[in-house]
Amino acid sequence: MDPKVSIVRAGRYDPEEIFFAVRRAVDLLGGISDYVKKDEKILLKPNVLSAKPPESGIDTHPEVLRAVARLVREEGAEVVVGDSPGGFYFKESDSTYEAAGIKKVCKEEGLRLVAFDKARNVNGIPVAAVVKEVDGVISIPKMKTHSLTTITGAVKNSYGLAVGLYKAHCHFKAPRPAEFARYVVDVFECAVPRLVVMDGVVAMEGDGPAAGRLRQAGLILASNDCVACDAVFAALIGLSPLSIETTEEAYKRKLGEPDLSRIKVLGMDLREARLHNFKLPKTSILVRMPKPILKLLLGRIKFWPLIDDSACKKCQVCAKSCPAACITITEDGSDIDYEKCVSCFCCMELCPHNAISMKRSLLARLLGG
């Protein structure tokens, strides 16, 4: 199937406007009937990182989920919704789904909402058991930056299909972007989605995926190729598609097309949709710098997390989610053992109070601006 990416305007999360935009985006790809058949069971995989309300811009907006679900059900297919929220210690997804507005939409639409609490082994990876029970997956990622992978898009969204402590293991074993990308694509390869619909109505720039700044992008992207979707996302924010490690790794495995000249862009063209001056994470210097130079300077370009005790609420989320077990939180203050810290920034990603920031070495600041 030739790679196609559609780009459609959507200015706000009004249910009718979102449904029209999602339908238009999918119709440009050939229509939902090209991806879903009657009596199939389809898993919708939104990005539900944390228990924050829809207006926080952290999770896939529930109205985008609703729109995709309605399209799928129009074809006579059954819809299942699920994700594995961020945080390696969470055993209960219900409160996260409720806070994010996902539970409400599923109840209103009569959709089956599942917790990824059971796993099946797929290529040595504990993948949510429901993946083996459905006929296909539709990915509904959020358009955001990410301090470790630069962007979190269609390929990275599949990482939430992994269950339990596996994700913590990956972060600990592979703190560098290129290494971590291999683990992400391992999971992606277990169940490559048939279709992706990206929520870019309100995007996140800066130090995403949770501590960044919201940006009114006003876009819905859809594609029959997750790698192509991420390539277009990268181009929209001024990056070379193959500078994204997850895109490059997926391309090496022939899981999608990142070459913009081979991708059919439908609806809006790239120049019209371009998101000018899109703020990238501080760590993006690692993908913007030529690799031979980066290799020479890597030891002097450093990033590390810092906890602001005045903002810390002692909730222990960072300590319980740290794959290196290097954070201690007490009533007297916080402490990070930097000898153990692998700078994966899971703590910053998951802190519900934005009490953790990213610090940079002098050279990183000079080169990163």
Q: What is the pLDDT of residues 311-327, one digit of tens each?
A: 999 999 999 989 999 99
Task: Categorise residue 182: left if φ over 0, alpha if ψ from -120 to 50, beta otherwise.
Answer: alpha
Confidence at residue 1, expressed as pLDDT on a 0 to 100 scale: 83
Look up the CATH number of the domain holding residue 340.
3.30.70.20
Looking at the structure, do residues 294 and 321 belong to the same domain, yes or no? yes
Same-domain check for residues 252 and 339? no
Q: Are 213 and 204 in contact (CB under 8 A)?
A: yes
pLDDT for 12-66, tens place per residue?
A: 999 999 999 999 999 999 999 999 999 999 999 999 999 999 999 999 999 999 9
Which of 13-22, 89-98, 126-135 has the weakest average pLDDT? 89-98
Based on the domain organization, do 240 and 306 belong to the same domain?
no
Report the C-alpha gap between 223 and 88 in whole angstroms.
Answer: 30
Query: In the numeric block, which tokens belong to residue 216?
Result: 């009114």
Query: Are residues 116 and 169 part of one domain?
Result: yes
How far from 248 is each of 4, 144, 235, CA to CA, in Å? 18, 18, 14
CB-side exposure of 353: number of CA atoms within 13 Å?
Answer: 13
Instruction: State which amino acid sits at residue 190.
Output: C
Backbone angles phi, psi at 268, to 5 degrees: -80, 150
Tokens for 170?
Answer: 């990956």
Looking at the fold, whether 173 and 297 belong to one and the same domain comes out as: no
Rg value, the chain, Cα? 19
Q: Which helix (H) or strand (E) holds 4?
A: strand 4-9
Residue 367 pLDDT exceeds 60: yes
pLDDT more than 70, % of the chain: 98
- Which of 281, 306, 326 delimits the end of a domain? 281
Q: What angle do CA 17, 21, 22 make, to 5 degrees?
A: 120
In this structure, the answer to whether residues 146 and 177 fall within a common structural domain is yes
CA dist list (Å): 145 to 28, 99, 176, 205, 352: 26, 22, 16, 5, 17
| Residue after which a domain boundary falls, among 281, 306, 341 | 281
Q: Specify whether 304 is located in the same domain as 257.
A: no
Domain that holds residue 316: 289-368
Same domain, 229 and 341: no
pLDDT at 89: 47
The model's pTM is: 0.95
Nearest to 134 by CA among 92, 189, 193: 193
**Are 210 and 315 members of one domain?**
no
Supply the pLDDT for residue 87. 64
Q: Which of 240, 260, 281 is the last residue of a domain?
A: 281
86 contact partners, CB below 8 Å, separation of at least 6: 49, 50, 210, 321, 346, 349, 350
Do 192 and 323 reside in the same domain of the chain?
A: no
For residue 243, give the 3-state DSSP assignment.
helix
The total domain count for the chain is: 2
Of residues 192, 188, 190, the one with CA closest to residue 223:
192
Q: Does 344 lie in the same domain as 245?
A: no
- Give the model's confidence band at 93: pLDDT under 50 very low, under 70 low, under 90 confident, else very high: confident
* Claim to verify: residue 238 and residue 315 sit in the same structural domain: no
Q: What is the CATH number of the domain that holds 176?
A: 3.40.50
Task: Name the 3-class secondary structure at 21.
Answer: helix
Q: If pLDDT is split at 50, 70 and 90, which confidence band does 290 have?
A: confident
Average pLDDT of span 145-165? 95
Give, as one character, the DSSP assignment of residue 278.
P
